[in-house]
């Protein structure tokens, strides 16, 4: 499973890529505007941190297929390698996905809330589809079930499109989509940290060090100890 960070915050991205096995970054207009910096400056800063081998997913804001296509081609020049344009699954969005796929632009279909939206986006050429887990749960939907249905439909139709699950409130939601075979997830830094946290892990580490220091003192494995 691929892990990505869902943020435009430079400091979070630096920490995330220092500690965790991340494959890229996803952004959206809301995350970008929170940083209160120039749009191109933010994208270039992110690229400098994550390198050319990591994915960078950036969302279009145009409403028509023509506007989306123009933005995608512009952003591809700005971002460079491993760029994915995020396109909402509106009728104009699907039209744009079809046209951009023919031009070799990589697509992440976003704002997905049911399996048929994801199937149509995949058939149009999207390489990733991003269902929103917690937003579905918040309206008495079932985000995990939608992911299961999307994965099933892709297998039935022989599609190679990957599911990039997004919009998580807690680590349990991430765990559940992982169990159903999701290909990738995008997470904020707080939830990324929570995936590793367990109080018994901290207690175990403290106990190991306590026992070591009782016998060897504060000496480390890389120094001479008695």
Domain co-membership, 218 together with 159:
no
Which residues are tagged catalytic? Answer: 86
Domain co-membership, 71 together with 162:
yes
Domain co-membership, 179 together with 224:
no
H-helix or E-strand spanning residue 173: helix 171-179
pLDDT of residue 224: 64
Domain co-membership, 50 together with 157:
yes
**Domain tally, the chain:** 2
Domain co-membership, 8 together with 119:
yes
Domain co-membership, 172 together with 210:
no
* Domain containing residue 206: 198-226
Domain co-membership, 188 together with 203:
no
Domain co-membership, 116 together with 167:
yes
pLDDT, tens digit (0-9, with 9 covering 90-100), for 4-14: 999 999 999 99
- Asked whether the whole model's pTM tops 0.75, one would answer yes
CATH of the domain at 153: 3.20.20.70
pLDDT, tens digit (0-9, with 9 covering 90-100), for 104-151: 999 999 999 999 999 999 999 999 999 999 999 988 899 999 999 999
């Amino acid at each position: 499973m691929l892990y990505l960070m869902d943020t435009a915050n430079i400091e979070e991205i630096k920490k995330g890529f220092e500690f965790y096995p991340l494959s890229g970054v996803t952004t959206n207009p809301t995350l970008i505007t929170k940083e209160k910096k120039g749009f191109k400056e933010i994208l270039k800063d992110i690229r400098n941190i994550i390198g050319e081998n990591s994915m960078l997913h950036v969302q279009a804001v145009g409403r028509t297929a023509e506007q989306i296509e123009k933005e995608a081609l512009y952003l591809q020049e700005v971002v460079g390698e491993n760029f994915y344009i995020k396109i909402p699954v509106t009728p104009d969005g699907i039209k744009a996905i079809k046209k951009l796929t023919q031009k070799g632009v990589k697509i992440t279909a976003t704002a997905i809330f049911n399996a048929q939206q994801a199937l149509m986006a995949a058939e149009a050429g999207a390489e990733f589809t991003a269902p929103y887990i917690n937003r579905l749960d918040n309206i008495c939907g079932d985000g995990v079930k939608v992911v299961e249905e999307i994965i099933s439909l892709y297998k039935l139709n022989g599609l190679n499109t990957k599911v990039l699950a997004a919009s998580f409130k807690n680590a349990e939601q991430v765990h559940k989509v992982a169990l159903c075979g999701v290909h990738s997830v995008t997470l904020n830094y707080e939830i990324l940290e929570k995936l590793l946290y367990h109080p018994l892990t901290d207690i175990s580490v403290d106990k190991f060090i306590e026992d070591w220091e009782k016998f060897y003192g504060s000496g480390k494995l890389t120094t001479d100890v008695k």
